[in-house]
Amino acid sequence: MNALKPADLSLWKGRKDENLGRPNYWYEMVEASSLEKLKPSVNKQLAILGYAVDEGVKRNQGRVGAIDGPDAIRKMLAILPNHFQSPTDILDFGNVVCADEDLDATHGHLSMAVSQLLNQGVFPILLGGGHDIAYAHYTGVRQFLDGQGENQTIGIINLDAHFDLRNNKNGNTSGTPFFQIAHDCKAKNQAFEYCCLGIQRSANTQTLFSTADELGVTYLENTEYTTEHWAEVKNCLNSFLQKVDKVYLTIDLDGFSSAYAPGVSAPSPMGFSPDIVLKTLDVLIESQKLISVDLAELSPKYDQDNSTARLAARLVHYLVSR
């Protein structure tokens, strides 16, 4: 079984409006592409790459369904309006899938794809899928930077209710990605710079808090990650950004309150709201350090009126339109 399924352009559909010299919607702009066909372009290039895998969620004893997340987000991206100020290519590279429950091999395929996209000057937007996407995604960014011969520090910013720092002695899961990254960083004598915003006490054991403290993780709990505490949040972000050269952003949709994101692997009524996330994105955009982004844990079969998929798509739209 091929680890990368080609793009399905039938997912990209929308309304027909009068075209006044430029595409009105994303579905009119998207093109199917492949890593083999990718060439440099004078246009800005955005790469949509799906991670249609929830094997890690299953191993973490979560409710499965995130395998269908990437295509659900694509359908909501398709109908978004074109507000790009300069010529932009939207390239769909299809979905990485997991063959024979071999999660490690799947991670290897995704890492290679991310590294190749970055090498071609494309901005990767990865759609999950379980949050184990983070380990493979980070590894791909690290491979790209190492290939440039530059010893640059990667800062991970995770918007999430969970640390995902579980020990992987019994195997890799959607709960272990940042523990795995910390282990790799230690082995390579590289800095582990990890900032997690939206942490919930009710969703993490004391052992996980202790692990975060031992690893020097920067974090704010959900009671602090609010617009009412924006000065504190902004200071936290700016202090973190000063320590790193590049930023990899990962958004676990289960960090949002289930009022906004019911269709996730682990819903919570106590999560954060979109307004604080948009303000966070503004800071990251202004830093000019953001190198790659993913959204994880959308589980469409639990969604309501596609509200979680719509939220994911609007976050992508907000980010790249700027």
- How is the chain split into domains, by residue range? 4-320
Q: At what angle do helices 274-287 and 307-320 cross, to 10 degrees?
A: 20
Mean pLDDT value of segment 111-133: 97
Which tokens is 317 given? 């739209």
CB 161 within 8 A of CB 201: no
Mean pLDDT value of segment 141-145: 97
CB 38 within 8 A of CB 120: yes
Mean pLDDT value of segment 3-23: 92
Which residues fall in the annotated binding site for Mn(2+)? 131, 160, 162, 164, 252, 254
Residue 168 falls in which region: left (phi positive, over 0), alpha (psi -120 to 50) or beta:
alpha
Of 251, 218, 231, 227, the C-alpha closest to 318 is 251
CB 74 within 8 A of CB 48: yes
Which tokens is 236 given? 């936290």
Output the pLDDT for position 155.
98
Mean pLDDT value of segment 244-249: 98
The residue whose two tokens read 């990485």 is: 96
Which tokens is 132 given? 């184990």
The answer to whether residue 176 scores a pLDDT higher than 60 is yes
Which residues fall in the annotated binding site? 131, 160, 162, 164, 252, 254
Which tokens is 295 given? 């959204």
Quote the percentage of the chain above a pLDDT of 70: 99
User: What distance in Å separates the CA atoms of residue 163 and residue 214, rounded to the nearest whole number?
Assistant: 13
pLDDT 10s digits, 94-114: 999 999 999 999 999 999 999
The CATH number, out of the four listed (3.30.310.50, 3.40.800.10, 3.40.50.300, 3.30.70.3190), of the domain defined by the range 4-320: 3.40.800.10
Cis peptide before 271 (omega within 30 of 0): no
Output the pLDDT for position 159.
98
User: What distance in Å separates the CA atoms of residue 10 and residue 260, rounded to the nearest whole number?
Assistant: 27
The answer to whether residue 194 scores a pLDDT higher than 70 is yes
Could you tell me where the beta strands, DSSP code E, fall in 10-78? 30-32, 44-52
Lowest mean pLDDT among 31-45, 129-143, 193-207, 278-292: 31-45
Could you tell me where the beta strands, DSSP code E, fall in 136-289? 154-159, 193-199, 218-221, 246-252
User: What distance in Å separates the CA atoms of residue 153 and residue 240, rounded to the nearest whole number?
Assistant: 12
Burial class (CB in 10 A: 0-12, 13-18, 19+), 260: middle
Q: Which residues pair with 96 in a beta bridge?
A: 4, 51
Mean pLDDT value of segment 292-312: 98
Q: How confident is the model at residue 180 (pLDDT cuts 50, 70, 90)?
A: very high
Q: Which runs of consecutive H residues, i.e. helices, occur in 65-102? A: 69-78
Is residue 96 within a helix (H) or strand (E), and if so which, with residue range? strand 88-97
The answer to whether residue 49 scores a pLDDT higher than 80 is yes
Q: What is the mean pLDDT of the chain?
A: 96
Count CB-CB contacts under 10 A for residue 283. 17
User: What distance in Å separates the CA atoms of residue 103 and residue 302, rounded to the nearest whole number?
Assistant: 24
Q: Give, as one character, the DSSP assignment of residue 153.
A: P
Stated pTM of the model: 0.97
DSSP β-ladder status, 88-97 and 4-5: antiparallel
Q: Give, as one character, the DSSP assignment of residue 92.
A: E
The answer to whether residue 149 scores a pLDDT higher than 90 is no
The values of phi and psi at residue 280, to 5°, are -65, -45
Output the pLDDT for position 1.
53
Measured over the CA atoms of residue 257, residue 263, residue 266 and residue 267, the dihedral's sign is: positive
